[in-house]
Amino acid sequence: MDDLVIELFIGRDPQDLIDLAAKHQHLYQRNLSTVTTKVRSKDLVRALEIVSEQNRPNFEVPVDMELIQRDVMKIIPILQASFPRAEDLFELFLRRSNRHIQFLSIMYEQQSKEPLDTAIRKSGLSQIARDVCIHAVRTATNMTYRDAMLLRNALLTVGTKKGKLAIAIRVIRMQFYKRHWMQIKAEFVGVTGIDFRSKMNNLSEGVFRDLMSAMARV
Amino acid sequence: MTPPEQPIPLPPIAIATPNNWHLFQRPYQVDSGCRHGQTPGYPHLLQDVNRLAIALQSGIELKYRDTQTLIDILVQRSIYENDALRHHYRDWCKADLGMLMSQTFSQAETHVKVALIGLAIGPALFDLWLINNVLLRPSI
């Protein structure tokens, strides 16, 4: 469930979040922020609270290079700490625009000689905080790679009911955007060395296999 | 003196999507491109609505070939076409495609049901459906 919360809310375009909140209120007469009450992880609750403020600048806002430099100087010691505070990173990755995070990622890699998402993965953050930060960074820097990795991770557990549900949700959400979906499938081959279509053709179950194969072929 | 040319009123059904519209789409956007007051459409829409209606007539006795028809139609649709399909299905068959899909596949396995509902309702409504049915009120 935490994975789904991250995929639905983290790194999302600010306008999409506003639209979703409005539609949710209209359809279900319920505030979208009630999702926070269903989440157990404190880190994820904090991330959702920041996201629900809906004040992240959009892609068109020009970036401030001095601010990026200051952010890089903040991130380096946080990621090197034994017990980093997730909130410090959320303040950067969930409040800055995607363009800002793109530049931030480039400058971080120049200075620390390591990709930002790799450094986050190796850090002492909790698993959920790591997932939130990596999702935010990859959304800004390489959404195709992000989605290919999400598919790869879901396929690791495709033998279980939970795994099948995860792969169904991810594939459905990705295939709506046909060009993006083609890029993900190409990236998937690059990441795993396996063709996504043949992977789906090899699923055992009848209707589910037909459904996934049809989407993989589009 | 000739009168100034009057603007020609647009027909009520406007097919506003160029064929390559999806090339310029931002992934995961909520907006499908369908505008308020506009009746969305695409070529072969009526045939698709008809085929869907026939396939879904069999209700919970859905046969394998009917499921295949649903897959064939829904998988190919862009998000704009998906809106058009749902809109016209509601107008002509007096039923909501998402609700119908949910009822028809109520006995199916969760992952199959979720996938078919998602295909039927499109990205924005699917995200809302996931929030409501999986996160807030786990009913699946």
Tell me: the pLDDT tens digits for A189-200? 999 999 999 999
Measure the CA dihedral B107/B109/B111/B116, to 10°: -40
Determine what percent of chain A is predicted with pLDDT higher than 90. Answer: 83
Residue B92 in any domain: the answer is yes
pLDDT tens, position by position, B55-84: 887 655 556 668 889 999 999 999 899 999
pLDDT tens, position by position, A123-135: 999 999 999 999 9
Residue B76 in any domain: the answer is yes
Domains and CATH numbers, chain A: 1-141 (no CATH), 144-217 (1.10.220)
Is residue A48 within 8 Å of residue A9, measured between CB atoms? yes
Residue B81 in any domain: the answer is yes
Helices and strands (H, E) in chain B, number of each type: 5, 0
Q: What's the mean pLDDT in A34-47?
A: 91
Query: Of B48, B75, B27, which Cα lies nearest the Cα of A215?
Result: B75
* β-bridge partners, B39: B13
Q: CB–CB of A214 and B30 under 8 A?
A: no
Sign of the dihedral defined by the CA atoms of residues A131, A132, A133, A134, in that order: positive
Q: What's the mean pLDDT in A94-114?
A: 95
Which chain B residue has its CA at the smallest distance from A177's CA? Answer: B27
Residue B115 in any domain: the answer is yes
Residue B37 in any domain: the answer is no
Within an 8 Å CB–CB cutoff, is residue A13 touching chain B? yes
Residues of B with Cβ-Cβ distance to A164 under 8 angstroms: 109-111
The reported pLDDT for the residue numbered A140 is 95
Name the pLDDT band for B13 (thresholds 50, 70, 90): very low
Which chain A residue has its CA at the smallest distance from B132's CA? Answer: A28
Query: Of A53, A58, A95, which Cα lies nearest the Cα of A74?
Result: A95
Q: What is the DSSP letter of A124?
A: S
- Residue A137, number of CB atoms within 10 A of its CB: 26
Residue with tokens 């991770």: A153
**Residue B112 domain boundaries:** 43-136
pLDDT tens, position by position, A57-76: 988 889 999 999 999 999 99
Is residue B85 within 8 Å of residue B47, measured between CB atoms? no
Residue A51 has pLDDT above 90, yes or no: yes
Residue B130 in any domain: the answer is yes
Q: Which residue has the higher pLDDT, B2 or B38?
A: B38
The count of C-alpha atoms lying within 13 angstroms of the C-alpha of B35, restricted to the half-sphere facing its C-beta, is 8
- The size of the A-B interface in CB pairs under 8 A is 122
Is residue A180 within 8 Å of residue A144, measured between CB atoms? yes
Q: What is the DSSP letter of B77?
A: -
Q: DSSP string of A61-108?
A: SPP-HHHHHHHHHHHHHHHHSSS--HHHHHHHHTTS-HHHHHHHHHHH
Is residue A67 within 8 Å of residue A34, measured between CB atoms? no
Q: What is the DSSP letter of B135?
A: I
* CATH number of the domain that residue B87 is part of: 1.10.220.10
Q: How far is B18 from chain A (nearest CA, A)?
A: 14
Contact residues of B toward A, CB < 8 A: 22-23, 25-31, 64, 67-68, 71-72, 75-76, 78-79, 82, 108-112, 114-116, 118-119, 122-128, 130-132, 134-136
CB neighbour list of residue A155: distance below 8 Å, 6 or more residues apart: A163, A167, A199
Within an 8 Å CB–CB cutoff, is residue A165 touching chain B? yes
How many domains is chain B partitioned into structurally?
1
* β-bridge partners, B13: B39
Residue B13 in any domain: the answer is no
State the Cα–Cα distance between residues A158 and A148, nearest whole angstrom. Answer: 15
Residue A181 has pLDDT above 80, yes or no: yes
Residue B20 in any domain: the answer is no
